[in-house]
């Protein structure tokens, strides 16, 4: 009996269509439908008219798709008091996310390089202490931060938000780079140092050229985090630097007048589009970022 | 940062080509201090903005600050007041309900999907991508989408009526007894795919030879999973629990978009409580106290788990 089963792996052979495999595939497809349904509902609702929304239901196909709700969501929907659509806030988010991602990633790269290859006495303790920044609930630092930004004249400005995101993003980027750079063979770095390359020379010639994958992971992780952030945006964004997530929330939770579900859904997709595009284009790095972020320390 | 380091760079770069002894010494000194110099801004930032700010919040929680911070310590009044507030206990209980169910369902769905996907599935890549994409979305987007789907009267309810289930009734979103459960629904949808990805990575990391050996011994597939595979996933369980607990405790955006804490305060969470008391109600001291309680909750979860994990790893060797 043992001899018979040795040829099988733990898994059934992929080609055999047994009852078990039919069940497995059915379950997997049902799961896929569960995850896709809200996306379908968002998309189809966003191209329906309000009348069609009332007469049809969640899953009914849009009969005469129209982009009107999208136009309104982008340029004329009311998010709280102002009625310029999501566009200004979308640009706010871009102006905030791009510098914040770049700065926090660069700092993280240098930090990771030091912590992986230029250890000094106490650097492990510093690393652990730094990692606490990944775990604290941000509510515990918000009040002093609001005060400080106010005093520095950076409250309710995009530079203020960039600053906050950089400060609380460094812990993650440092972690990513450090964990990646420890896998770079120490001999490589040692050889460069014996050849007389100093700290930055070694970074530029040895470490940096090997870093593309981890830079991608970090860019994507940070971009997703910062773009999707709501707490910092709502507390420090004021009325001028509000990111798109805050505007979307205001739009969806506006209680005056008729709720325009088609506009809400179009707005939700607009707010989600940048990270969705990143996910579609660089899903591999996205997953690596998620898993690297999950296995902390 | 780069201002300080530039001259050192020049020295380090200049030294290898023409190397009198002196320059070599400068380079050596530079190499000893540059790493610390590069790291120092980060260390200072995290000292001030993480540890310093936690201390300031702790301080604020011991004062009578209302609209404006007041730095005169007045004891534990704010904590006494906090614990006397029904609304705080509603928020805390909601965190228990939401956190417990969110973690449970994410774990169960994620693990089952990972095991199913691990059976040499044809379109594995596509399926994995579908399961995972919600993780790319903001909780605000997720909240907005589910707010529409769960809308009583127009959303799911109307669809079921259209399909002939005339008695179908689903008003959890506006029912104060059930509103917190709608947060669970949306949260699980958003995060369970991510749990699947972690478990799948864990499954792929298990040594095949152990499993083959068990098969040779005649163990059935369910037994192999129960006795070998799932115990081997222990470290993954730890990571997943840690991440999910963390998401649950700081959960703010999802509730804001989905129910805004309502109806009434029925889907309040500590993060919402903190925000509203600090920024809408001008009760800084009370907000600070609630923030400290959130930190305490994170630590209460984190510290024992870190301890168990390191201990477990040591015993495993």
Chain A residues close to B9, C-beta within 8 Å = 198-200
- Domain residue limits, chain A: 19-65, 86-295
Contact B53 A145 (CB under 8 A): yes
Contact B43 A248 (CB under 8 A): no
> Which domains does chain B carry?
82-315 (1.10.3720.10)
The whole-angstrom separation of Cα B232 and Cα B226 is 10
Distances (CA, A) of B142 to A37, A41, A268, B221: 12, 12, 8, 37
Could you say which residues from 3 to 22 on chain B have a Cβ atom under 8 Å away from some Cβ of chain A? 5, 8-9, 11-13, 15-16, 19
pLDDT tens per residue, chain A (297 residues)?
333 333 344 454 445 678 888 999 999 999 999 999 999 999 999 998 888 888 888 888 888 888 888 999 998 888 877 888 899 999 999 999 999 999 999 999 999 999 998 888 888 888 888 888 888 899 999 999 999 999 999 989 999 999 999 999 999 999 999 989 998 888 888 888 888 888 888 999 889 999 998 999 999 999 999 999 999 999 999 888 999 999 999 998 876 777 889 999 999 999 999 999 999 998 888 887 777 766 543
Q: Are A100 and A161 in contact (CB under 8 A)?
A: yes
Question: A86-295 is classed in which CATH architecture?
Answer: Orthogonal Bundle (1.10)
In this prediction, residue B6 carries a pLDDT of 37
Contact B27 A198 (CB under 8 A): yes
Q: Which residues of B123-145 are buried (b: 16+ CB within 10 A; e: fewer)?
A: eeeebbbbbbbbbbbbbbbbbbb
ipTM of model: 0.89
Asked if pLDDT for residue B230 goes beyond 60, the answer is yes
In this prediction, residue A8 carries a pLDDT of 42
Distance from CA of B215 to the nearest CA of A (A): 7
The whole-angstrom separation of Cα A286 and Cα A275 is 10
Who has greater pLDDT, B309 or A165? Answer: A165
In this prediction, residue B11 carries a pLDDT of 40
The whole-angstrom separation of Cα A67 and Cα A155 is 37
Asked if pLDDT for residue B202 goes beyond 70, the answer is yes
Phi/psi at A79 (nearest 5 deg)?
Answer: -110, 90
In this prediction, residue A190 carries a pLDDT of 87
Q: Can you read off the two tokens belonging to residue B224?
A: 């192999």
Site from B148, B241, B275, B292 to mutate, A interface, most A CB atoms within 10 angstroms:
B148
| B50 contact partners, CB below 8 Å, separation of at least 6 | A132, A133, A136, A141, A171
Share of chain B above pLDDT 70, in %: 91
Interface contact B174, partner A, CB < 8 A: no
Percentages of chain B per state (helix, strand, coil), in multiples of 5? 75, 0, 25
Region B45-55: mean pLDDT is 93
Distance from CA of A78 to the nearest CA of B (A): 16
- Using alpha carbons, select from B142, B231, B156, B151 the residue that is nearest to residue B194: B142
Residue B112: pLDDT band with limits 50, 70, 90: very high
Q: Tens digit of pLDDT for each residue in B141-165? A: 999 999 999 988 788 877 877 777 7
- Using alpha carbons, select from B235, B214, B145 the residue that is nearest to residue B185: B145
Residue B10: pLDDT band with limits 50, 70, 90: very low
The whole-angstrom separation of Cα B191 and Cα B134 is 7
In this prediction, residue B264 carries a pLDDT of 80
Question: Using CB atoms within 10 A of its CB, is residue A98 exposed (0-12), middle (13-18) or buried (19+)?
Answer: middle
Interface contact B49, partner A, CB < 8 A: yes
Distance of CA A165 to the CA centre of its chain: 12
From A14, A143, A245, residue closest to B288, measured CB to CB: A143
In this prediction, residue B9 carries a pLDDT of 39
In this prediction, residue A46 carries a pLDDT of 92
Could you say which residues from 88 to 107 on chain B have a Cβ atom under 8 Å away from some Cβ of chain A? none
Who has greater pLDDT, A272 or B68? Answer: A272
Distance from CA of B23 to the nearest CA of A (A): 11
Rg (CA), chain B: 26
In this prediction, residue A297 carries a pLDDT of 33
The whole-angstrom separation of Cα A178 and Cα A182 is 6
DSSP state of A229: -
Asked if pLDDT for residue B17 goes beyond 50, the answer is no
Mean pLDDT taken over chain B: 84
Q: Give A82's strand partners.
A: A79
Which residue do the tokens 């008391």 mark?
B277
The whole-angstrom separation of Cα B194 and Cα A291 is 8
- Among chain B residues, the shortest Cα distance to A245 is held by B140
DSSP B150-214: T-TTTSHHHHHHHTT-TT----GGG-TTTHHHHHHHHHHHHHHHHHHHHHHHHHHTS-HHHHHHH
Contact B298 A200 (CB under 8 A): no
- Using alpha carbons, select from A221, A292, A291 the residue that is nearest to residue B195: A291
């Amino acid at each position: 009996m043992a001899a018979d089963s040795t040829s099988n792996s733990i898994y059934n052979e992929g080609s055999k269509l047994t009852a078990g495999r039919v069940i497995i595939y059915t379950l997997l497809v049902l799961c896929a439908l569960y995850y896709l349904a809200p996306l379908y509902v968002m998309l189809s609702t966003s191209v329906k008219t309000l009348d069609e929304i009332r007469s049809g239901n969640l899953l009914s196909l849009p009969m005469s798709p129209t982009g009107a709700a999208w136009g309104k969501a982008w340029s004329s929907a009311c998010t709280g008091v102002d009625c310029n659509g999501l566009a200004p806030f979308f640009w706010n988010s871009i102006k905030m996310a791009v510098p914040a991602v770049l700065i926090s990633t660069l700092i993280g790269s240098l930090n990771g390089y030091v912590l992986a290859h230029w250890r000094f006495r106490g650097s492990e303790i510093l690393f652990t202490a730094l990692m606490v920044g990944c775990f604290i609930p941000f509510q515990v630092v918000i009040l002093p931060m609001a005060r400080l930004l106010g005093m520095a004249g950076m409250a309710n400005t995009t530079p203020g938000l960039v600053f906050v995101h950089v400060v609380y993003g460094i812990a993650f980027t440092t972690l990513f780079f450090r964990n990646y750079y420890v896998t770079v063979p120490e001999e490589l770095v040692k050889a460069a140092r014996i050849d007389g390359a100093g700290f930055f020379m070694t970074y530029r010639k040895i470490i940096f050229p090997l870093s593309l994958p981890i830079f991608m992971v970090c860019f994507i992780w940070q971009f997703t985090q910062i773009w999707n952030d709501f707490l910092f945006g709502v507390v420090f964004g004021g009325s001028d630097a509000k990111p798109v997530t805050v505007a979307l929330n205001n739009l969806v939770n506006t209680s005056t007048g008729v709720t325009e579900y088609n506009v809400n859904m179009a707005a939700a997709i607009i707010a989600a589009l940048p990270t969705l595009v990143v996910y579609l284009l660089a899903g591999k790095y996205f997953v690596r970022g998620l898993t690297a972020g999950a296995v902390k320390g | 940062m780069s201002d300080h380091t530039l001259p050192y760079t020049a020295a380090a770069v200049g030294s290898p080509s023409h190397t009198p002894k002196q320059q070599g010494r400068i380079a050596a000194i530079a190499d000893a201090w540059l790493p610390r110099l590069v790291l120092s801004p980060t260390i200072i930032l995290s000292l001030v903005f993480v540890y310093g700010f936690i201390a300031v919040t702790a301080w604020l929680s011991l004062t009578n600050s209302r609209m404006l911070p007041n730095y005169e310590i007045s004891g534990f009044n704010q904590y006494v007041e906090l614990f006397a507030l029904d609304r705080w206990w509603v928020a805390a209980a909601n965190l228990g309900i939401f956190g417990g169910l969110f973690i449970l369902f994410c774990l169960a769905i994620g693990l089952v999907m990972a095991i199913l996907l691990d059976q040499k599935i044809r379109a594995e890549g596509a399926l994995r991508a579908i399961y995972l994409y919600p993780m790319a979305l903001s909780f605000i987007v997720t909240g907005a989408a589910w707010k529409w789907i769960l809308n009583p009267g127009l959303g799911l309810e109307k669809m079921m009526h259209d399909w002939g289930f005339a008695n179908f009734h689903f008003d959890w979103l506006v029912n104060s007894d059930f509103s917190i459960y709608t947060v669970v629904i949306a949260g699980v949808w958003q995060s369970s795919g991510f749990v699947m990805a972690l478990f799948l990575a864990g499954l792929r990391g298990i040594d095949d030879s152990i499993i083959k050996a068990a098969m040779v011994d005649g163990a059935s597939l369910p037994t192999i999973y129960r006795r070998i595979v799932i115990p081997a996933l222990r470290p993954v369980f730890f990571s997943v629990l840690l991440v999910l607990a963390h998401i649950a405790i700081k959960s703010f955006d999802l509730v804001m978009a989905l129910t805004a804490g309502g109806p009434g305060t029925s889907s309040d969470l500590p993060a919402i409580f903190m925000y509203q008391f600090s920024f809408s109600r001008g009760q800084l001291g009370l907000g600070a106290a609630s923030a400290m309680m959130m930190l305490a909750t994170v630590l209460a979860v984190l510290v024992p788990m870190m301890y168990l994990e390191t201990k477990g790893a040591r015993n495993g060797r």
